[in-house]
Structure 1
């Protein structure tokens, strides 16, 4: 939480020295809510010429928040966050936002092919595929659902051949042409050949 507050709200680590979790948590929640209710002017709403209306479903809001989460972190931040969350949840029960954060991080770093999410790949309607070079993660966006699958560029995930082929049929969205994008495409092709 301190790393997040440092990166998102400009807090110094020394500010939190001697503070307990119960004191830091309200600050974190306030910044989290402020950060994740903001929609940039260049968001998909603006691109499609659609005005954002008040309301909307909670699931769609959470999906937008998760996408913003990756744009602001580099790979070291993401790895540190995963380690800190692992340590934190060894002693405390999961609930609310903690459960969402843990689920997202666990799916990225420690995917279990027996999870329901991986078992239902035939139902996924892949809309787009995007590369986040700053944290070396690529994301699958699904149509008709706010679900997103975030995956490390160099890690093999339990994806079925049909989905891997759909990924290659879509154009990988990246901020610019890069070696990382090329290597990711090669990696996906090699996974198809293995199956």
Structure 2
């Protein structure tokens, strides 16, 4: 089974099978550092390895929202099933029927009015 392994400068490491598990223990500075490392390694080239591709995709959507991206176009018509805030890292997790996205609290994302309405109807859950 694949996983993300985060190794800190001090040598400690932790493995995560899902990004949502990582968000429960990471802070904002760590998120920004992780994106810088992934961006430096892959740039705008989509990685081939499955878990690296998933991490790169989730972080790219989170840090570089683009209205032309297929992710934002594919949200049309999907209802929100979960909307959760991970307070320690300032990340919203939004699950739709067939996909999910992560969004930084302080960024503006190309959400449609229908998607925002679904989110508000679902009500925000916080991690503490």
Q: What's the TM-score, normalizing by structure 2? A: 0.83
Deviation of 1:12 after TM superposition, in Å, equals: 3.1
Deviation of 1:139 after TM superposition, in Å, equals: 1.0
- Deviation per CA, 1:94-127, whole angstroms, max 9, x where unpaired? 1112211111110000011111111122231210
- After superposition, the Cα gap between the structure-2 partners of 1:134 and 1:125, relative to the gap in structure 1 and judged at 3 Å, is same
Query: Going by fraction, where is helix more abundant, 1 or 2?
Result: 1
How many residues matched? 123
Query: What is aligned with 1:89?
Result: 42
Query: What is aligned with 1:186?
Result: none
Query: What is aligned with 1:159?
Result: 111
Give distance in 1, aligned partners of 2:22 and 2:127. 17
Q: What's the TM-score, normalizing by structure 1? A: 0.57
Aligned counterpart for 1:114 among listed residues 65, 68, 74: 68
Query: What is aligned with 2:101?
Result: 149
Query: What is aligned with 1:67?
Result: 20
Query: What is aligned with 1:172?
Result: 124
Give distance in 2, aligned partners of 1:159 and 1:151. 11
Task: Give matches, 1:48-67, under 5 Å.
Answer: 65-67=18-20
Give distance in 2, aligned partners of 1:171 and 1:93. 34
- After superposition, the Cα gap between the structure-2 partners of 1:150 and 1:93, relative to the gap in structure 1 and judged at 3 Å, is closer
- Deviation per CA, 1:28-70, whole angstroms, max 9, x where unpaired? 8xx63xx42xxxxxxxxxxxxxxxxxxxxxxxxxxxx121121
User: Any gaps of 5 or more consecutive residues in structure 1?
Assistant: 16-27, 37-64, 177-195
Bigger relative CO (Cα 8 Å, ≥ 6 apart): 2
Alignment partner of 1:4 is 2:2? no
Deviation >4 Å, runs of 4+: none
Aligned counterpart for 1:136 among listed residues 69, 75, 90: 90
Asked whether the equivalents of residues 79 and 115 of structure 2 are also in contact (C-alpha less than 8 Å), the reply is no
